[in-house]
């Protein structure tokens, strides 16, 4: 059974506030797919930076259990959606697409690097 979830833009405020909750559970793997320079400039503290081109090399060490809850986001939401589909094809079934970080700087939560 496939469990693939995507949070739409109309729910963005709600799901961004839940990132802090997600971070409280060490089983949750929250991955920022942007490149290292983008991550270093602006990121959500406590998230993992695994650029999209490195995800498939590293995912088995990060999530050896195919039922691990994996939450992905990127700059626009396109890479995270694609990566969710690719992880699903690899057998991961508890994958969540958090979408885009670009709308998160507007006061919904603290993001390192925004003034």
Q: Which domains does the chain have, with CATH numbers?
A: 3-98 (3.40.250.10)
98 or 3: whose pLDDT is higher?
Answer: 98
Indicate whether 105 pLDDT > 60: no
CA dist 79 and 94 (Å) reads 17
Tokens 């396109």 appear where? 78
Rounded percentage of the chain residues whose pLDDT exceeds 70: 73
Indicate whether 6 pLDDT > 80: no
How confident is the model over 7-32, as a mean pLDDT?
69
In the prediction, which pLDDT does 102 show?
Answer: 73
Summarize pLDDT for 32-77 with one digit per residue, the tens.
Answer: 999 999 999 888 888 999 999 999 999 999 999 999 999 999 988 8
Indicate whether 110 pLDDT > 50: no
């Amino acid at each position: 059974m496939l469990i693939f979830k995507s949070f739409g833009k109309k729910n963005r405020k709600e799901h961004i506030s839940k990132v802090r909750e997600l971070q409280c559970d060490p089983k949750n793997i929250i991955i920022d797919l942007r490149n290292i320079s983008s991550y270093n400039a602006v990121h959500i503290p406590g998230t993992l930076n695994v650029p999209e081109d490195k995800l498939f090399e590293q995912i088995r060490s990060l999530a050896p259990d195919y039922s691990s809850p994996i939450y992905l986001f990127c700059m626009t939401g396109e890479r995270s959606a694609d990566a969710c589909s690719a992880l699903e094809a690899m057998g991961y079934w508890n994958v969540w697409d958090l979408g885009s970080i670009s709308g998160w700087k507007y006061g919904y939560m603290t993001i390192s690097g925004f003034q």
